[in-house]
Structure 1
Amino acid sequence: MKNTILYLFIFSLLINIFQYVNSNKILDAKEQQILNSKKYLKISRDSLKSFSENNSFDLKNNDYAQEYFYNKGMDYNKIIEKVNNDINALNANKAGNPLIPYDMIDGKAFLVSRIKMVNHRWVIAEFSNGKIWGEVLLKYFIVGDKPTEFETIDTVLFEATL
């Protein structure tokens, strides 16, 4: 009988040690999982903050530029659409978009591919001829129902990477 109680005691002690070690491993794994989640959450928050900062130079987020159009009795959403359409209409020119001061390279004309309206006066546009890329800063003027008037302020042309 003594031996049975001794064996049971040793057996229960071993089970308790196993439970303790196993529980510690589970707790450590969960703690590591929480630390990883906090790290990824911080990265996500930082990227969202960066994203929101990058959108600060946008007519859709610029209250002062929107107020400018409101005071003139214009809807800034319609202005955005009009300016986009007018710039894209200039892409129909066979020699390339006239807002881009570069001649054709390798027989390919430069066309505007992306447009971002900064405020009530400036537009940044990305252009390309399929091989070479660049950006142009434009000043624009809305004159009633006439096509938008544009003035090229400056351009930058990136070197071909291929």
Structure 2
Amino acid sequence: MKKSLLLYLFLLAILMNVFTYMFYSREVKFGEERYEKTTKKLRDSISLVTTQLTEADYFSLAHNENAQNYFDNSATGGKFIAYEKLIPVVTEKLMDLNSSPTGNPYTGQDMIDGKKFIINKVKVLNHRWIIADYSNGEIWGEVLLKYFVNDDESIAFEVNQSLLYQK
């Protein structure tokens, strides 16, 4: 009786070890497969976002080499203007005009109901064009501006077209 009990316990221990081994080996394999699927999905997502960002930045001074070359007047005796420094300067100059009591004059809109229009967001498209988003808190719009860098390095703006969205 004692021998058969030890034999049963021995077989039970072997079965427990086999089942434990199978469980943990499959758990590791399952974890690796899940990791590979997640990694592939994340790489695809990163690739998609990178493509979308590239498409969104197509019209941007930072990615337009022809527009960047426009500011390289050093061959004709002019000054070289770095576009990396120009973009923040142009944006800052345009945003500084928001402090006017009648609103930013380059929105192309007058005050409505005593609320002034101010520019919220600016994107420098190339060496000549800017697109900007503006609002007065209730009404939103967009404006297409021309900008010029003068010889004295001052910046001049000109409203080309302004669009006001309906409420």
Please report the TM-score for the alignment, with normalisation by the length of structure 1: 0.81
Are 1:148 and 2:155 counterparts? yes
Task: Answer with 92-101 or 112-121: which moved more.
Answer: 92-101
CA separation of 1:16/1:60 partners in 2, compared to 1, >3 Å: closer, same or farther?
same
CA separation of 1:146/1:25 partners in 2, compared to 1, >3 Å: closer, same or farther?
closer
CA distance in 1, matches of 2:9, 2:119: 85
SS at match of 2:107: coil
Residue from 12, 36, 39 that aligns with 2:38 = 36
Task: Name the counterpart of 1:58.
Answer: 60
Cα displacement string for residues 36-93 of structure 1 (whole angstroms, at most 9, x for unaligned residues):
2321232122112212332232212221111111035231345434433442343343
SS at match of 1:99: helix
Residue from 41, 48, 51 that aligns with 2:50 = 48
CA distance in 2, matches of 1:61, 1:105: 37
Residue type of the alignment partner of 1:73:
K
CA distance in 1, matches of 2:93, 2:40: 47
8 Å contact 1:128–1:134 — kept in the other structure? yes
Are 1:107 and 2:123 counterparts? no
8 Å contact 1:86–1:147 — kept in the other structure? no
C-alpha RMSD of the superposition = 2.5
SS at match of 1:28: helix
Residue type of the alignment partner of 1:49:
T
Residue from 137, 144, 158 that aligns with 2:144 = 137
CA separation of 1:130/1:29 partners in 2, compared to 1, >3 Å: closer, same or farther?
same
Q: Name structure 1 gaps, 5 residues minimum.
A: none
Percent identical: 34
8 Å contact 2:108–2:143 — kept in the other structure? no
Are 1:87 and 2:94 counterparts? yes
State the number of aligned residues. 160
CA distance in 2, matches of 1:134, 1:89: 19
Cα displacement string for residues 6-62 of structure 1 (whole angstroms, at most 9, x for unaligned residues):
541342133212321332133223312321232123212211221233223221222
Are 1:121 and 2:141 counterparts? no
